[in-house]
Amino acid sequence: MRPSATPRLGRLAAGALALALSGGLAACGSGDTPAPDVTVSNAAAPGTAQEAGTPMKPSEPTRLQIRSAGVDAGPVLPLKLDSTGELGVPPVDKADKAGWYTGGVTPGEKGPAVLVAHYDTAKGPALMKNVKKVKIGDTIKVGREDGTTATFTVREIEQVDKKKFPTDKVYGDTSGPELRLLTCGGAIVDGHRADNIILYANLVK
């Protein structure tokens, strides 16, 4: 996977995007090994975007828990931009771990915190292999370095072609604390998944 990213949006002028974003997660897939398509049902909670909870103080993420997907993994790996402006991803030998974009806010702060996790790699299934089991209203918990836990509720699930990655929607500023969890889906095309699967979640406590 190779997600695009922006500088620390929550600490820049609202809506400012300082880098040109090239798309979603590019390097996620099973190489030349036949693998089934990965498709989720796009869905959103009724009504407009739900109000998020009270912002938390900055504290780096240490653990990701999604009960419905069987995810309970730590530590969370720091991810940065490379020389092309693309966001790094967990290495293949750590595909059972999630990564956090260090240029964005920490989970629980005001703004969109961005986590990244592989669906699969050339070595087989990875951390988000059960992403299809995640539904609207499910809970995502992020343990933090200060001992607190940021608890989010999934409000929207979106599967999109990587060539149509919703950059502003994912990385744009928000009125409250939110989470974006990015992984891959779709068919294998030229050795990589053709789509991104994005979980949008609001802080509840």
Question: pTM for this structure?
Answer: 0.85
Q: pLDDT tens for residues 124-142?
A: 999 999 999 999 999 999 9
Helix (H) or strand (E) holding 72: strand 71-73
> Does 123 or 77 have the greater pLDDT score?
77
Q: Span 83-94, mean pLDDT?
A: 85
Residue 14: band (very low, low, confident or very high) from pLDDT cuts 50, 70, 90:
very low
The pLDDT value recorded for residue 28 is 65
| Sign of the torsion angle spanned by Cα atoms 175, 200, 126, 26 | negative
Domain boundaries, given as residue ranges, for the chain:
9-34+52-203
Which range among 19-33, 88-102, 129-143, 154-168 shows the weakest confidence by mean pLDDT? 19-33
Among 165, 65, 162, CA closest to 117: 65
Q: Tell me the average pLDDT of the chain.
A: 84
Domain 9-34+52-203 classified CATH 3.40.50.300?
no
